[in-house]
Structures are given as structure tokens and as C-alpha cells.
Structure 1
Amino acid sequence: MSASGEVDKAKRPVQLMLKAATQGSSVGMLEYVFEKGAQVDCNIDVIDVIPRRRQQRFFEILISHGWPAGPRGLANNLRLGLEVVQLLLDNGARVDVPCLKEATRIGDVEVIDLLFNHIDPRSKVPSLHDYMKAMDDPAYWSAPEMCSQEPSIKRIIDEAGLLHIAALHQDLGMVKYMLEKGADLDLIPDHYQATEGVNGCALHKVVSGTALGKKPSLEIVQFLLDAGANPDLEDELGRTPFDINEAWGDGSREVIRDLLRAKMKKP
């Protein structure tokens, strides 16, 4: 591999074989291409989920050859499931806030619970400025300033808007999990840290599900209201959840309207 990280031209055929091998599940083929001189590079940083379950040995071989090569390797492969995530953590993968955000979007409670057990509670929730710096210097994710905050899992959950992500993705199980971890029910997080569209509270997010092509969950609306969510709060555009539902609601608009009105102080 060259100093720039690119594979020499002579090795491109075997690198293509490695790429093909990672799209399947054959341990034998993976071993073969590494014996032929294949090297892990960023082109295989993301391993797709396939219908056929891969053996743990498949990932042990990849990891032993330096996979994943890029700084976002853990976050990019959370969909592979708990066993693979555990393997990556056992081999030194570092958990950061973008990993938590991605796990919340995916909706795997077991995976995110594992990640919480491995994240430094002093981790900084990155701002847009931090993301821009990391684009120029991936090592910035491990810089001292990225682990210099008040040690608090609740702080991370609230500043990153993890409850809000779960609500937007209509994931009741993840919503419940975040509240059990101490998420602030009515918090409107900082726009520069929680970057999932227009900022509002969790109730704003669940009624905004159509923005992702998802049907707003009646169950989550009811659950949040029963938990004490304030339906009169306004998002950063001055809209209540009721306003969003009226403008963007789908077939569940009328039922959600009734649920919100029953709890609003100024219907």
C-alpha cells in the first residue's frame, strides 16, 4: 500500500476479490484472498448485512488484518449486530457520540446499551464545528478536547438528542430505553449538537415522522403524554406538536389531534 493509503495497481485484482469476499459469508474465500496478499483498506470499511448469517470467525479474520481501517468503522457497522460490535470493542474500537446516534437510528437496544457501557462519560457531544474539523483530521475524534466534559451519560443523551432521534424514527422501545436512562422528556437540545432537522422536544419529533416517510406513532404520542410531556411547547420555529400534526400529519392526524388537545392548556 502506498503512503497515500492507495493500493498498488498490481494488487488491484486481489483487492477486488477481497471486496467480493466481504459481500459474502465464506470464511475460506476470505482466508484465500488474504493469503494472496489482499490488504484491508477503506473500501471495505462498511460490510453490508446479508440474509445468510456470517460466522464469528469471518469477522475475526477481518479484524486480525486491520479491519475496519477508517475512523468511523464502528459506527458504520453497527447493523451487523451485537456479536460483531462486541468483537470490535474487544479489539480496541472506540465508542463516541456519533456511534450512539447511529445505534439509536438503527433501533437496536442491545447494541446501544453495550455502547453506553463502553463510552467515556466525559465524551463531548460534537458540534458542527467539530464535525468539520474531523473531516480534515480524523484523529480529532480522539483529541483530548473530545473527552473533557462533565462525566454524565444523561448529559450525553440530552445534548445529542438521542430521545428525539428515537421519537423521530418512531421507535417506542428506544424511546422507553432513553427515558429509563434519564433523558429529559421536554428538552429542546442545542441545534448545533442535535442536528436532526428543526429542533423541538420529543413530542415535536414523533409527530414529524412523515419527514422520514414514517407514519407518526399513536403509541409513542400517547406514551410521551402519559409520561408528562408538555404538548404546549414550541419548537425553534414557534410551532407546537399540534401545529406540526395539522400541517404534516397523515391518516393518524385526527387521532393525534384528539390526544394532544386532551392535554393542552391552550387547545
Structure 2
Amino acid sequence: MSQWTMSTEARSPNSIIFQRLCHRFALDKKFSLSLMWLGVIPCLLAINGFVSSNLHGKPGDVLTNDFPQAALSTQSGYIVVNVSSQARMFYAFYEALVPEDSPQDVPIILWLQGGPRCSSMTGNFYEFGPWQIGSDMQLHKNNYTWNTRYALLFVDNPVGTGFSIAEKDDDIPVDQEHVVVHLFTLLTEFFQLNSPYQLRPFFVGGESYGGKYVPELGYYIMLKMRGPASMSTLQRSEQNKISFRLD
């Protein structure tokens, strides 16, 4: 594990739980990350599989004993989205708690926060994830979570946001095109790592500036696909490029 030194710059929030402005964190490896509020940090550090390695997170790399076991994500960690620069994106995935459909038919929802450059862990811990941070800075079950019926995939997007890592400023996207290329790469790797999920319905949602990410990503996926728009199966083409197709 790399040792990171963090420092914060407060922005005079009205209350602890409503620190809605993105805080900037300076790390000794010159990484930068932005979070919607300070209270999310201890929760993210406690997520099962949260790691600071260059590779896809392995469950158990970092664990805290006092984190509610029921609140642990199904999986979380990093996925490299640029091999040459080692830029990588952080994600947290929660399987549906009480699905109404058979396992292969339970929808997976990718959630993209707005901003731009606001961490999707805001949606996770503040809006509709299975657990929320209360005014006492403790985790409480969210009675209105979407996770009851659907699987949720939260991604810190774009690179350089939240816990998604950019080794240098040039790795941070400055246009929609590079953002969706990174997201497509992440999705491709995620579904390859979790092949049983490939047959399940897939939806992309977002809020605020996420309203730009969602249609752009959907359009890019369609351009990469062979046939009708579907996320049902992944395959690697002869040109070593990833494409989506129907069986």
C-alpha cells in the first residue's frame, strides 16, 4: 500500500453533512481528487476492496472492522482506462438486495454524477445508495435506496474526480469524447471481469451535468456495437477492439 498524505481546504460549509462544494485534496504523489463532502472519506476508505494499487481492486486489500458488514459493496476498486498513462477509475458496485426478477434479468444501473467533476459517491452515500451518512457522521440504512430492486454501479467520473486517479494533468479529460472513451473502457473491463453480468439489462443514469454524459456514452456504445443497441454480450474483435453485440 502506498502512503498518501492528504490535506483539505474547507469552503465554509453551512453544516457538516451538506458540504456540497467539491473539496480539493493534495496528495504526495501529485494525484488530485474531488469529493462532494468530507464525510464520504471514511466510508470510501472502508469499502470492501478499496485499494491504491494500479490494478483492479482485490477484495480484502483494505478493510475496517467497524464498518457494517451489510454496508459493504459487492465489489469495488480500480480499473485502468489508459494503459500507457495508467490512469484509472474508481467504482463501487452493489448487487440488488431483494430483486423481483431472476438473477440474469436484474437490471444494472450505471450512475454518473454531475458537476462536472463531482464524485458519484455522492449519489452512493447521499442520495440512493443502500447506506447514507447521517448528521451524526454515522452510516444509516437508506429506506429509499434503488439498490432494493436494482444493482448499482457508481463510478467516479471523469478521471481525476473523487478517487479516480490521474498520474498527471494531461490524463484528465477536457472534452466529452475522451470522457466516454474512458467510461466505455471501464465498462468493457467490468463486464469481462464479471462475465455473468453480461446478459443482464443495463441502464445509464445521471443528474445535472450527468445529462451530458449519459446520451454521449449511449451514442458511443451504439457506434461500437454490431447490431441493435444492447449490452447483452461482450466480444473482442479481430482488431483487438471491444464491441458489444447480440447473440
Same fold, TM-score > 0.5, yes or no: no
Q: TM-score if structure 2 supplies the norm length?
A: 0.31
Q: Which has the higher contact order (CA 8 A, sep 6+)?
A: 2
Question: Would you tell me which structure has more strand in proportion to its own residues?
Answer: 2
Q: TM-score if structure 1 supplies the norm length?
A: 0.30
